Structure 1
Amino acid sequence: MEPLYKQVYQSIKKNIINGQYAAGDRVPSEKELSDSFQVSRITSKKALELLVSEGLVFRQRGKGTFVSEDSTDNPENDVKETNKFLVGLIVPDLDDSYVSKVVSSIEEAANHRCFVILKRTNGSIDKEADAIRQLIDFGVDGLILYPAHAEHYGSEILKMVITEYPFVLIDRTFKGVAAAFVSTDNIRAAQQGINHLFELGHEYVGVLGPATAETTTVVDRFNGILRAYEEQNRIVNRQLWCSDLKKSLPSSISKDIKPEHDVEIIKEHLQKHPEITAIFALEYNIAVLAKRAAEELGLRIPEDLSIICFDAYDNNLSGWEFTHLRQNEKEMGRLALNRLLEMMNGSSSIKKEFLDVELIEGDSTRPIH
């Protein structure tokens, strides 16, 4: 069975070809089609957009949608078919290797299937809202959104939920938002990371996280660590944890913060807790700062201090790399696009998909048995 928007589209197209709607006639509006076919405004909007893309109708702002002059010249309708969707992709920035790989995977998956328009927000909630409005006003059929660092979602996201506009969240979601999303299983991944340190004999593990610690991604990673302690009947000492680091946050938040700021915080933390033998950095950039802080204190990695983190920098010419949890960015992008295409084709189910990580043993950890 064809998607609802295709059924509406075919009905109007048929009426244009058989002359029921002559050149210059106004066709029903989104609301009129919605009422007539008992479908959502989003569905009727898609139907009209497809007619516009084929040249059968044209829109006049403030007046409506009208039949094109040449749309009925050929009864067989020799207009070139173009069923490719237009997808909006919103990300914080492309400076992060992880985000760049997700974007690349989406573009690769979109090849010959749809067109992608990319917008960057620099991690700003306001820019994110503007990007959503601009892309929807431009006429994209759906959105893939990598949300900015925030505990709460913005009004534009809520509008998409209420209007059933097709969109998929990647990497993180929001509490109380009924939205499709694709993410790493951060709870399980963090468990895997801390358990690796336990297996190496580390009992005093310092956990380093970003200052904005209320995103679902970061919360899940903290919770995964707690679960690992609980399952192994170990006592958690949160005094060894530090979540005051800001340089790894998006540029809209951290642009005026120098790396030295976080390096000094980490140095003070390590000096305050000399019993720490391993660091679990919840983000790659934090691991880089932790390594620098340790070395400035005269600590050797991994002889004196082990470090494990999420992700790693692929273009590392030195050959040295962190022991890290590699996320499956390629699969994340592919699944996000496939899910969005399903939704734009009429699927209404909200899927939440979680991906496993792979533990890569690098040069930054060692056993201390």
Structure 2
Amino acid sequence: MMTALYMQVYQSLKQDILDGKYKPGDRIPSEKELSDTFQISRITSKKALEMLVVGGIVYRIQGKGTFVSKDKDAKKGTFSPNFSKPLIGLVMTTFDDSYSSKLLSNIETASEDQCLIILKQSFGLPDKEEKIIKELLDFGVDGMLIYPARTEHFSSEILKMVVDQFPFVLIDRAFKGIAATTVSTDNVQAAKMGVDYLFGLGHEQIGVLSPQTIEMTTIEDRFNGIVQAYAERNTMVNRDLWCTEIKSTSPFPEATAKQDIQLIKQHLEQQPGISAIFALEYSIAVMAKRAAEQIGLRVPEDLSILCFDEPENSLSGWTFTHLQQGEREMGRTAITRLLDMMNGERSIKKVYFPATLVEGNSTCPITN
């Protein structure tokens, strides 16, 4: 079992004091000095020093430093850490959709016997996410896994972790402009594969349905994959076939599902040439199927529908053709990578997993 990095530093300093390397009244290394010596983040070194203070082994003088306690009994150390395993903060936007719940399940499974997890939910709100991260840091977690609310504008707390080299891994999304370790689906590859599949069935008029909020690399990469698929066929993208105004699928929806179904119905009626829909989220595919049926279109005979993800064990036996993401591999890799970083690994790595296309009941070759 790996000992948390701050515990290693704490134990090293405590042993140095017990061995007499630092005598009563001596100043011990500062947060910065410990950070440089042990090649750790300032946050980690700060936590190690705080443990020594709580145990009465050392005391602090504002503006001067941290000094060894003169009380000999204090050197024995009364601090007993609550956690024998590393403590990790996991910040998710939501637990509700099938992708997030499967990802969460696989992260928990991968963490078994390796670390403890504090789970928090941001609901996709940047301000709430920033508050959660600050609370987790103040509580003293050893590392963090973050499913970011947004990727266009990252919080000051995340920037602080980058500067302090605090161990954290981004899940599903990447930040623009800062170097941060990321574990995600290769969304460009996945979306391109999806469009290629629909082309292969003879569909040329492909509608795209996406959430209105696209301030995240996940959706942006999916758009890029779609455009690449068209470019490789020397075919122009007809963006009139796209509807990017779905508002009901965010953690704090700005519309109801009923309103979005009506929006999709209007879009299909205004673009009668659409023979296939590529829904960038599973819940959007469900609404697209209902919208199609309400205007008399049969799925898949009149309208094929392809989406990302699909809940497991459908009771109806009817499934969408979908792009399956590698939640198991992502969960395991995120935990492994974070533990490596907590153990001193500093290199930034971006790991992207390919998606798999799973054929269901919602697509078929076009018939003229």
Report if TM-score (shorter chain) is over 0.5: yes
Query: Cα deviations across residues 297-336 of structure 1 (Å, max 9, x unaligned)?
Result: 0111101100000001124211111000000111111111
User: What is the TM-score normalised by the length of structure 2?
Assistant: 0.88
Conservation of the 8 A alpha-carbon contact between 2:195 and 2:226: yes
1:345 aligned partner: 343
The alpha carbon displacement at 1:48 in A equals 3.4
Alignment of 1:287-306 (within 5 A): 287-306=285-304
The alpha carbon displacement at 1:6 in A equals 7.1
1:266 aligned partner: 264
- Residue identity opposite 2:264 in structure 1: I
1:137 aligned partner: 138
1:87 aligned partner: 88
Alignment of 1:37-48 (within 5 A): 40-48=41-49
Conservation of the 8 A alpha-carbon contact between 1:16 and 1:71: no
Stretch of structure 1 that moved more, 303-312 or 158-167: 158-167
Q: Which of residues 319, 323, 326 is equivalent to 2:324? A: 326
Query: Cα deviations across residues 144-171 of structure 1 (Å, max 9, x unaligned)?
Result: 0001145321222111112211111000
User: What is the TM-score normalised by the length of structure 1?
Assistant: 0.88
Q: How many percent of aligned residue pairs carry the same amino acid? A: 56
- Residue identity opposite 2:288 in structure 1: A
Check 1:58–1:97 CA distance in 2 against 1; reply closer, same or farther (3 A cut). Answer: farther
3-state DSSP of counterpart to 1:161: helix
The alpha carbon displacement at 1:214 in A equals 2.9
Conservation of the 8 A alpha-carbon contact between 1:57 and 1:66: yes
Check 1:338–1:71 CA distance in 2 against 1; reply closer, same or farther (3 A cut). Answer: farther
Conservation of the 8 A alpha-carbon contact between 2:42 and 2:166: no
Count of residue pairs brought into register by the alignment? 362
Alignment of 1:1-369 (within 5 A): 8-19=9-20, 29-31=30-32, 33-34=34-35, 40-48=41-49, 57=57, 84-149=85-150, 151-251=152-252, 254=253, 257-369=255-367
- Residue identity opposite 1:361 in structure 2: E
3-state DSSP of counterpart to 2:99: helix
Conservation of the 8 A alpha-carbon contact between 1:19 and 1:72: no
Supply the distance in 2 between the matched residues of 1:39 and 1:312 (Cα, whole angstroms). 41
The alpha carbon displacement at 1:129 in A equals 0.3
Conservation of the 8 A alpha-carbon contact between 2:206 and 2:241: yes
Query: Cα deviations across residues 27-71 of structure 1 (Å, max 9, x unaligned)?
Result: 655246457778652342354367689x68588998978769766
Check 1:20–1:197 CA distance in 2 against 1; reply closer, same or farther (3 A cut). Answer: same
Supply the distance in 2 between the matched residues of 1:65 and 1:9 (Cα, whole angstroms). 14
3-state DSSP of counterpart to 1:173: coil
Contiguous gaps of at least 5 residues in structure 1: none
Supply the distance in 1 between the matched residues of 2:258 and 2:243 (Cα, whole angstroms). 16
Supply the distance in 1 between the matched residues of 2:246 and 2:318 (Cα, whole angstroms). 24
Supply the distance in 1 between the matched residues of 2:165 and 2:350 (Cα, whole angstroms). 16
The alpha carbon displacement at 1:20 in A equals 5.3
CA RMSD across the alignment:
3.2
The alpha carbon displacement at 1:242 in A equals 0.8
Check 1:65–1:210 CA distance in 2 against 1; reply closer, same or farther (3 A cut). Answer: farther
Supply the distance in 2 between the matched residues of 1:185 and 1:296 (Cα, whole angstroms). 34
Supply the distance in 1 between the matched residues of 2:99 and 2:134 (Cα, whole angstroms). 26
3-state DSSP of counterpart to 1:308: strand
Contiguous gaps of at least 5 residues in structure 2: none
Supply the distance in 1 between the matched residues of 2:133 and 2:44 (Cα, whole angstroms). 18
Query: Cα deviations across residues 210-241 of structure 1 (Å, max 9, x unaligned)?
Result: 10123110010011011001111222111101
Check 1:89–1:58 CA distance in 2 against 1; reply closer, same or farther (3 A cut). Answer: farther
Check 1:283–1:3 CA distance in 2 against 1; reply closer, same or farther (3 A cut). Answer: closer
The alpha carbon displacement at 1:187 in A equals 0.3
